[in-house]
Structure 1
């Protein structure tokens, strides 16, 4: 590299004027611009406002020696990268080692030879030029990396936003069961068989309620309603498969989570209903059915339009159990399959409700009422009357109708509004008046209902 064409500048520091003059002349002959300082303090002061590409630094100087000047230069971020070549008559190895320790890059031994001076200076100026080029390249690379990082972060945020948007339509939990990390990886026909608890909820009298609303009011109402219930499902480890108007169909890997979610949903609806009542609006109610069984999670449709769904009779049974909740005016009805799947069944307020043969099923199923979601006073009455109620049901199925009638009467004395007890009172009265028909088993046949 021809340093005479690069515009390099060298600071020469020496307390002997003759040495300074000679060194400057040597550099000038090589076309190298030179700055001068006659002592260490002057050199440090000069470099605060002048730029130098290299320092030729005498070691033995008054006040501040060259080693100390070099140490200070290396401590300052503005000057630490300037290469320092020491000039000294000191020839001891320890002195040279000390010079390298404080940051020097080379040594010139006095008296200084013209050719050696220029050779060492041009070498270190070339290295300095390469160092600067590398620093600039690194800075440019860092800038580009920062720009690309910002671009990638922007794209990642867009992807996260897209995934969040997709998750509103395709539950991320379902993607996990299908073994997919991203919705774009889902293929038509992906499926998995798994046992889960299906929760099916439905608002009571929704159609009649919305008849008096404008379309905008209806959508606002239903979104307010669903907005209170949906987070409860997620909080209890479930996910919503679909909304069917005001109805919610949710799935839970664990039956206990499904029951706890159902109870919490009933509390939320009762609170919402009280708010409406206080505002002079019609109160609302909701029924929930829970059934546990094997189901298929997967995608259906065609390549241009598909959706994730559940295929299983378990869903139908949960829906029909929700219908039975209205029949018995129970907040939550669950099947014996859900009861069997519970890990802590005695931790829930529940009672036997009936034994029924649901539509589409040959075998009858026992159903249970969960009353933990009822108002506190109703819950307390059902808890107290539970032994008498269940004994009355046992007597009913054993054809001991007189005993069953007496037991139900005791239940209704404690809670005249107990709808399930009223249903059995009517059944028993009919059987006592007309007798049980041939083949009577006490199983409610709902296959045509």
Structure 2
């Protein structure tokens, strides 16, 4: 395929000059356009794009220098090379020609062989410039396409990471000292101090009996969807869901877990009220919280592993959650968690019992946190806290008559207090049958 013929615009107010130049250009297979003055040249260039312009300087109406200035101001024509042809031979005129954007300056009378040599040189330079511009445009296009592809891949990677983060918490990776899930190896582990929170929905099995599988899943997701963000907002993360139960880890302060537990209770109470307004059964949940050392790491095998925590701290948190059912309270916290609170008196709480958890030789003190209860219940428990704890002190000291009297006074003010009712029954049994030999008042929790 032959190269396209090049085109030169000849601008000169003398017809003979234009004709001679056109004939010489044609000998070199260069096509020509002509204009008799600057205004005609500017009009012609609105719809023509020559490869080069031979421009006379001294012309009527508008001179060649001003024409060139206007050409260089327009994006459409600024790259077209301009060779001035003029009888002006002063150095100042030549400098002006170059300042306004000319690439060459030929004085009259014109030596046509010299002019054609200059024309062919600048046409070759113009061809190289256009090739470079085309290559740059193609490079810019490919860079833009590659950038768009990289952005798309980055979005996919971010989406994948976000999706992966819904299964393996990024907080877990951070604690393991890993930035990416692909860097985690089977057996990676670290021992850290943290607070473990267990929550469990009360009576879900009975609720699920009246639901289709789809309704059960929708209910569980609505329930968990209200609680899980609360964990995150308070500096914790979900280790796992066990049906309707949540196991959450709080690597920061114990207060984070306690405040999260209170907010979770409040959210469940609101959810329950919404259900009742629609004629649906109410719901409630219990929470156990324990602070201690945990071993966090990966378990499984090379093709199927998961990150989790293995520790007696986890077991104790789970068992404390079960204690909440026994005492009819919402939140049970261990003495380790209560001791770790910097603002312990800022939380509504009361001593609940001394218990020996399964697998433990030493008994532990457990506490109720009641800040998540309804306002009227919180008020009753605050007002009776001292009386209740004194009754328990009498109970452990075997002063059963005094303990019974104190419990009776608490029940007068708060008859629905399930924990107080538990002690009323215990004390009544002891008063009727006497305390067994070696009795210490410590309850033994035998559930698994």
2:74 to 62, 73, 76: 76
Give 1:4-15 correspondences, 5 Å limit. 6-15=4-13
Give 1:18-29 correspondences, 5 Å limit. 18-29=16-27
Q: Does 1:273 align with 2:272?
A: yes
1:97 to 95, 98, 114: 95
Relative distance call for 1:120 and 1:429 in structure 2 (3 A) is same
For residues 48-82 of structure 1, give each alpha carbon's deviation from its aligned partner in whole angstroms, at most 9, with x where no partner exists.
11121111122222222222211211221111111
Give 1:57-76 correspondences, 5 Å limit. 57-76=55-74
Whether the 8 Å contact between 1:11 and 1:35 is mirrored in structure 2 is yes
Corresponding position of 1:160: 158
Instruction: Report how far residue 416 of structure 1 moved.
Output: 0.6
Instruction: Report how far residue 261 of structure 1 moved.
Output: 1.4
Corresponding position of 1:129: 127
Q: Does 1:46 align with 2:44?
A: yes
Relative distance call for 1:317 and 1:75 in structure 2 (3 A) is same
Mean Cα displacement is larger for which, 44-53 or 178-187?
Answer: 178-187
> Counterparts of 1:342 and 1:96 in 2: how far apart (Å)?
87
User: Alpha carbon RMSD of aligned pairs, Å?
Assistant: 2.0
For residues 406-433 of structure 1, give each alpha carbon's deviation from its aligned partner in whole angstroms, at most 9, with x where no partner exists.
3322221211111111222223333344
Instruction: Report how far residue 149 of structure 1 moved.
Output: 2.2
Task: Give structure 2 stretches of 5+ with no counterpart.
Answer: none
> Counterparts of 2:342 and 2:53 in 1: how far apart (Å)?
81
Mean Cα displacement is larger for which, 338-347 or 113-122?
Answer: 338-347
Corresponding position of 1:287: 286
Corresponding position of 1:372: 371
Q: Does 1:177 align with 2:172?
A: no
Whether the 8 Å contact between 1:361 and 1:447 is mirrored in structure 2 is no
- The TM-score with structure 1 as length reference comes to 0.93
For residues 314-342 of structure 1, give each alpha carbon's deviation from its aligned partner in whole angstroms, at most 9, with x where no partner exists.
11111000001111111111111112222
Whether the 8 Å contact between 1:53 and 1:83 is mirrored in structure 2 is yes
Corresponding position of 1:218: 216
Relative distance call for 1:153 and 1:431 in structure 2 (3 A) is same
For residues 201-240 of structure 1, give each alpha carbon's deviation from its aligned partner in whole angstroms, at most 9, with x where no partner exists.
1111112222233323322222222222222222222111
Mean Cα displacement is larger for which, 198-207 or 20-29?
Answer: 20-29
Task: Give structure 1 stretches of 5+ with no counterpart.
Answer: none
> Counterparts of 1:319 and 1:376 in 2: how far apart (Å)?
27
Instruction: Report how far residue 253 of structure 1 moved.
Output: 1.6
Whether the 8 Å contact between 1:242 and 1:250 is mirrored in structure 2 is yes
Corresponding position of 1:357: 356
Q: Does 1:16 align with 2:14?
A: yes
Q: Does 1:307 align with 2:321?
A: no
1:111 to 109, 112, 115: 109
> Counterparts of 1:448 and 1:405 in 2: how far apart (Å)?
28
> Counterparts of 1:356 and 1:251 in 2: how far apart (Å)?
24
Relative distance call for 1:66 and 1:226 in structure 2 (3 A) is same
- The TM-score with structure 2 as length reference comes to 0.94
Corresponding position of 1:341: 340
Relative distance call for 1:332 and 1:448 in structure 2 (3 A) is closer
Matched length: 446
> Counterparts of 1:33 and 1:187 in 2: how far apart (Å)?
73
Instruction: Report how far residue 5 of structure 1 moved.
Output: 5.1
Whether the 8 Å contact between 1:295 and 1:314 is mirrored in structure 2 is yes
SS at 1:289 equivalent: strand
Instruction: Report how far residue 447 of structure 1 moved.
Output: 5.0
1:231 to 229, 232, 236: 229
Instruction: Report how far residue 290 of structure 1 moved.
Output: 0.7
